[in-house]
A and B are shown apart, each in its own frame.
Chain A
Amino acid sequence: MTRSARRAAVVGGNRIPFARAHGAYAQATNLDMLTATLDGLAARFGLAGERIGEVAGGAVLKHARDRDLTRETVLGSRLSPSTPAYDVQQACGTGLQTMVAVANKIALGQLESGIAAGVDTASDAPVALNDDLRRVLMRLNGARSLPDRLRALAGIRPGQLVPEVPRNAEPRTGLSMGEHAALTALEWSVTREAQDELAAASHRNLAAAYDRGFFDDLVTPYLGLTRDENLRPDTSAEKLARLKPVFGRGEGATMTAGNSTPLTDGASAVLLGSDEWAAERRLPVLAHVVDAETAAVDFVHAGEGLLTAPVHAVPRLLQRNGLTLADFDFYEIHEAFASTVLATLAAWEDPAFAKERLGLDAPLGPIDRSRLNVVGSSLATGHPFAATGGRIVATLAKLLHERGSGRGLVSICAAGGQGVVAILEAA
C-alpha cells in the first residue's frame, strides 16, 4: 500500500446528551439539535464567526422540509455563513460516512478544515401524508380545468386520513431491524447472558466515564439534560436478565429492551482539520484518520445478516493497511444490539466463516475484550441513528489522546445491509 496524501486530524468533538424518544427533546427538531451541537463545538474551539472548509451532515429520519438540513443548520449557527454544507444519508452509517468524506478531502488537500455531523430524532419523526391522499392532491395540483379538479377531488376517501409513518423495517424483507438481528443472534448462538453482560458493561463504563469527567469536553448539555437519558448507572446483568424478550420467538428469543438500543434523539459533530490548520490555531490534534472502508451484504437473497456488513468491511480494511485485528488498543463497535456486537466478534473468530464467506485462510481471531467500548456505547448512550458515528469518532480520538499512542477501530453497522468501518491512530 502506498499513500502519499496527508492524514486528517481529529481536533475534537461535541454532542448533546442523547435523549430517549419522547423524552427531554420531544419538542426539538433535527435543526434545533444540530444547531445546538455546532454552537457547542464552536464554543469549545473558538469557531464563532469562522469559515470552516465544509460541514457534512445528515439525518436518517428527515422531514421533506429539511431539504439541505446541514446548510440550514450552519446558517442558524455561530459559524460563518460562508461555510458550505451538504447532506449525506447512509442509514446508521451516516455519521461515520460524513467523517470519511471530510477526512478524505482534507487528506487530498481540498480542505483545511471541516466538520462531520449527524442528527436524528425519533420524537419529531417525519410523519407524511397518506400516499393515496398525496396522489390525489398531486393530481389536483396538475388539473387545468374545473371539471378536472372536481374529478380529482372525488378521489378523496376517509381512509386517506391515516398518515404515513416511517417504519423501522427493511423495505425488502418487511422485518424490523430487531427481528433481523434476532435471526443473526440465533445463527451465531449468541446467549442471553452474554448480551446482558455486554449491556451492563456499557452502562457501567459510560457512568464511570461521566464520573471521571471524560465527557466534560465532548458533551454540551441541552434542554436541561446533562447526561444521556438512557444511562442506567445502577443496572446489572442480573437486573437485565429479568426483562422479557421483545425480538425473536420462543426459546431462542434472547433480545430484550435492555440489550437493544432504544429509539433516541440527539446530535453529534466532529471537528477535523489538517495538522497545519490545527497548529495555526493552537488547537489540539487528538488522533489522525488512517483509513476507512464501507461494505454491503446481500441480506435479501444470500442469507447474510442485515447488520453483518462490518464483518466483511474490517478484513478488507486490515488487509489494505497491513494490520491484524489484534493490532488495536481500542475497539469501538456500535452496539445496535448487544447480539450484533457478539455475532460480529463470533464471525471474526470462526474459521469456516473466514474461509467460506470472507475468503481468508484464517479467521481474524479474538479481540481483547477489555479494549471493547471502554467508555460505553450505544446500549447506554442510546442511538440517534446519524449521530452515532460522530459520538464514536470523538470518543475514540479522545481515548487515543489520553493513552498517548495506539490505534483504534470503529465499526458501525447500518440498515440496508451496509457497514462503515475506520481506523484512527493517536496523534
Chain B
Amino acid sequence: MSNDTFRDLSQNPLVQRLGVPRIPVLRRHTPGAPLLAGPALVGSVGGGRFAEPMRALLKDAGVPESMTDSSLAGGDDGRLAAVVLDATAARTLDDLAAAQEFLTPAVRRLAPNGRLLLLGPEPDADDVEAAAVAQALDGIVRSAAKEVRAGATANLLVVHPDAPPASVDSSVRFLLSARSAYVDGQVVHVGVPVGPVLDPVGMDSPYDVDRPLAGRVAVVTGAARGIGAAIADTLARDGAVIVAVDVPAAGAALADVANRTGGTALQLDITATDAAERLLAHLRERHGRVDVVVHNAGITRDKLLANMDADRWNAVLAVNLRAQLALNAALLEGDLLSDTGRIVCVASTSGIAGNRGQSNYAASKAGVIGMVRALAPRLAQRGATVNAVAPGFIETEMTARMPLGTREAGRRINSLRQGGLPVDVAETVGWLAQAESGGVTGQVVRVCGQSMIGA
C-alpha cells in the first residue's frame, strides 16, 4: 500500500542523479523467509554470557556466521545482515573502547536493511563507572541508528543480571528479523521472565518460527480497520485465534476481518458500563481463557486546550484509557488471563512528545503508558506481562487525509525517512504477545523509525 510517491520516485536512478536522496524500501517479513538475508557477526566485550547462546540461536535459524577479520567465505561479499554485540559484561571505559573497536569495522560492512543489535547491562547502582558505561551504550545505539543507512536499524536490549540467556531469544529474533522494520533506536529492558518456566523441549509443540503464536487466543479491540485490522491479520498469520472486537457500527468491516483471519467477530462498545463483563463472559464461553489482549481501539477529537470541551475530552479518555483500565482491572481480578497472558496497549508518540491540538489524546496515550508501568508488577505475580507500543507516523486512512505539508514532514523526520505501515505496529505487538516474551514487561516500544519527535 505505497502511497508515498516521493519514496517511489526516489528509487529511479535518474531522480537520484538529480541529487534526490534515495528513500530506502524496507524489508518486511513474509512467512517462511529466513531470519536474516545474509551472515551475522557476533561479538562480545568483557566476556558476556549471551554471545554463545546467540550464536547457537543464529545457527539454529540457518544464519551463517561471519568473522571479524572479514576472511570471507565463498560467495560472501563481506556484507553483514546483522551485527550483534554482547556488551552485558561491559563495566569500564576500556570495555567501551573495545566495543568501538568491534563496531566500527562491522558497521561499515552492514548491508541494506541490516541490523545492529547491542545487549547491555542494567546500570549497577554500586559501581559508578559501570553505571556510566551501561548508559553510554544507549548513546551509541541512538547515534548509530541515525547513521546506518538503507533501511538498517540499531536497537539496544538492556538485560537484567539474573535473566537466563533464553529470556532474550524472542526479542533478539524480533529485532534481527524483518518484522522490526520500523523499530529503530529503541531501548528495551529484558528481565527475569514472569510466569512458569517455558521449556521448549518439554512443550507439546516446540517453538515454531513461522507460527510463534500458534493456538493462542488473542483479543484485538478496534479490529475493523487500520492498525487494528493489521494486528488481527498479523497475529492470525502467526497462528493466533482472533477475537476481533469493534463497535457495532463497524460490524460489516469487522466481519470481513474475522472471516479472513479465521477468527470471530464480537460487536461491542468497549465504553459500555458492562463491556468488560460482556467481553470476559464471551471469552469464557467460547474459549475458556485468553492469552493475548491488544488494546488498540482509539479515537481522536482534536481541539486546542483553550477551546477544548468536556464532550471531546471525555469521549477520547473513555475509549483510549477508561475502557482499558476497566478491562485490565477485570482481567487482574478474574482467572481468565492464562499463565502466559500478554496485554499489549497501543499508545502513541503523541503520548510521549505531546502534539498540538491533542491535549486530550496525548493525555489518554500518556495515561496508557503510566497504566502499563503500574500494572506490570501486579501482573507479573500471575505470570502475565503488559507493554505498550507507541506508533509514530504510520500510513493509514487517517494520515492520508492530512494536509500534504504536515504529512510530508511527519514522514521524513525520522531516521528511516518514511512513514511506517500498520503491519510494523502489528509485528511489534506480535513479538510482545508471544509466550516466550515473558522477560519483557512494563516497556514502551516506539514504532516510529526513530522519529525526532519525542526522541
Residues from 24 to 71 in A contacting B, C-beta threshold 8 Å: 36, 39-40, 42-46, 48-49
| Residue pair B269, A213 in contact (C-beta under 8 Å) | yes
| Residue pair A44, B262 in contact (C-beta under 8 Å) | no
| Residue pair A220, B255 in contact (C-beta under 8 Å) | yes
CA distance A219 to B254 in the complex (A): 12
Question: A405 contacts the other chain (Cβ, under 8 Å)?
Answer: no
| Residue pair A40, B251 in contact (C-beta under 8 Å) | yes
How far in angstroms is the closest Cβ of chain B from A49?
A: 7
Question: B265 contacts the other chain (Cβ, under 8 Å)?
Answer: yes
| Residue pair A49, B262 in contact (C-beta under 8 Å) | yes
Question: A283 contacts the other chain (Cβ, under 8 Å)?
Answer: yes
User: Given A43-B258, A46-B263, A48-B259, is A220 in contact with B251 using a C-beta cutoff of 8 Å?
Assistant: yes
CA distance A76 to B414 in the complex (A): 45
CA distance A113 to B256 in the complex (A): 23
Question: B35 contacts the other chain (Cβ, under 8 Å)?
Answer: no
CA distance A283 to B287 in the complex (A): 9
Interface size on A, residues (CB 8 A): 24
User: Given A213-B272, A282-B287, A284-B285, is A46 in contact with B262 using a C-beta cutoff of 8 Å?
Assistant: yes
CA distance A313 to B285 in the complex (A): 37
User: Given A40-B255, A48-B259, A219-B251, is A283 in contact with B286 using a C-beta cutoff of 8 Å?
Assistant: yes
How far in angstroms is the closest Cβ of chain A from B387?
A: 28
**1/0 contact string of A199-227 vs chain B (CB within 8 Å):** 00000000000000101110111110010
Question: B53 contacts the other chain (Cβ, under 8 Å)?
Answer: no
| Residue pair A282, B285 in contact (C-beta under 8 Å) | yes
Q: Which residues of the partner chain B approach A217 to less than 8 Å between Cβ atoms?
A: 266-267
A-B contact count (CB 8 A): 69
CA distance A225 to B267 in the complex (A): 15
CA distance A389 to B158 in the complex (A): 62
Question: A391 contacts the other chain (Cβ, under 8 Å)?
Answer: no
| Residue pair B265, A43 in contact (C-beta under 8 Å) | yes
Question: A78 contacts the other chain (Cβ, under 8 Å)?
Answer: yes
CA distance A220 to B259 in the complex (A): 13
How far in angstroms is the closest Cβ of chain B from A63?
A: 24
Q: Which residues of the partner chain B approach A219 to less than 8 Å between Cβ atoms?
A: 248, 251
Most chain-A CB neighbours within 10 Å: which of B244, B259, B264, B286?
A: B259
Question: B198 contacts the other chain (Cβ, under 8 Å)?
Answer: no
CA distance A325 to B325 in the complex (A): 48
How far in angstroms is the closest Cβ of chain B from A42?
A: 6
| Residue pair A226, B249 in contact (C-beta under 8 Å) | yes
Interface size on B, residues (CB 8 A): 26
Question: B93 contacts the other chain (Cβ, under 8 Å)?
Answer: no
How far in angstroms is the closest Cβ of chain B from A12?
A: 11
Most chain-A CB neighbours within 10 Å: which of B255, B268, B269?
A: B255
Question: B9 contacts the other chain (Cβ, under 8 Å)?
Answer: no
CA distance A43 to B269 in the complex (A): 17
Q: Which residues of the partner chain B approach A223 to less than 8 Å between Cβ atoms?
A: 252
Q: Which residues of the partner chain A approach B248 to less than 8 Å between Cβ atoms?
A: 213, 215-216, 219, 221, 226
Contact of A216 among B262, B263, B267, B285 (CB under 8 A): B267
Question: B165 contacts the other chain (Cβ, under 8 Å)?
Answer: no
Question: B13 contacts the other chain (Cβ, under 8 Å)?
Answer: no
Q: Which residues of the partner chain A approach B269 to less than 8 Å between Cβ atoms?
A: 213, 216
Nearest residue (CB) in A for B242 is: A46
Q: Which residues of the partner chain A approach B256 to less than 8 Å between Cβ atoms?
A: 39, 43
Nearest residue (CB) in A for B258 is: A43
| Residue pair B263, A221 in contact (C-beta under 8 Å) | no
| Residue pair A39, B268 in contact (C-beta under 8 Å) | no
Question: B139 contacts the other chain (Cβ, under 8 Å)?
Answer: no
| Residue pair A221, B264 in contact (C-beta under 8 Å) | no
Q: Which residues of the partner chain B approach A220 to less than 8 Å between Cβ atoms?
A: 251-252, 255, 265, 267
Question: B454 contacts the other chain (Cβ, under 8 Å)?
Answer: no
CA distance A198 to B267 in the complex (A): 30
How far in angstroms is the closest Cβ of chain B from A38?
A: 10
| Residue pair B287, A43 in contact (C-beta under 8 Å) | no
CA distance A222 to B255 in the complex (A): 11
Nearest residue (CB) in A for B260 is: A48
Residues from 229 to 286 in B contacting A, C-beta threshold 8 Å: 244, 248-252, 254-256, 258-260, 262-269, 272, 278, 285-286
Chain B interface (Cβ < 8 Å from any Cβ of A): 244, 248-252, 254-256, 258-260, 262-269, 272, 278, 285-288
Q: In the complex, given contacts A39-B255, A219-B248, what are 6 additional A-B residue pairs having Cβ atoms less than 8 angstroms apart?
A: A40-B252, A78-B259, A216-B268, A222-B252, A226-B248, A226-B251
Q: Which 6 A-B pairs have the closest CB atoms?
A: A43-B255, A43-B258, A43-B265, A48-B259, A220-B251, A46-B264
Chain A interface (Cβ < 8 Å from any Cβ of B): 36, 39-40, 42-46, 48-49, 78, 213, 215-217, 219-223, 226, 282-284
26 A–B contacts, CB within 8 A, in A order: A39-B259, A40-B255, A43-B244, A43-B254, A43-B256, A43-B264, A45-B264, A46-B262, A46-B263, A48-B259, A48-B260, A78-B259, A213-B268, A213-B272, A216-B248, A216-B267, A217-B266, A219-B248, A219-B251, A220-B265, A221-B249, A221-B251, A221-B252, A222-B252, A226-B248, A283-B286
